[in-house]
Amino acid sequence: MPDPLELAPIIKVTQEEVMTLEKAIGMIWFRVCRNSTPLGIWIWIKYKRSGFAKGYYPIFLDLARCWASILWHTFRRVFVSA
């Protein structure tokens, strides 16, 4: 039986395609983290430490919404549980 790797064609990928893929993955990762802001500030730390954050730079409005949501949920948790 032939080796499957021998049958697969060699795929050449340009640097532009790699950067586009990194940006797309980074955007999805940012959205996942932004939707997880009720979990607290550690979600931002997880986002920034991941390798996916390097490919996508969110606009200021998205960053502001993310931080506002983190602060809202943090203060809400503190004052509601008090």
Structural domains in the chain (count)? 1
First-last CA distance in the chain: 68
The pTM of the full predicted model, rounded to 2 decimals, is 0.75
Task: Give the 3-state secondary structure of residue 11.
Answer: coil
Tell me, yes or no, whether 6 lies in a domain.
Answer: no
Q: What does the block give as tokens for 79?
A: 């004052």
pLDDT tens column, 39-70: 888 999 999 998 888 888 999 999 999 999 99
Tell me, yes or no, whether 33 lies in a domain.
Answer: yes
pLDDT tens column, 1-20: 556 556 556 667 788 888 89
Q: What does the block give as tokens for 70?
A: 């983190």
Nearest to 19, CA basis, from 67, 71, 55, 58: 55
Tell me, yes or no, whether 2 lies in a domain.
Answer: no
Tell me, yes or no, whether 4 lies in a domain.
Answer: no
Which structural domain, as residue segments, surrounds residue 65? Answer: 15-81
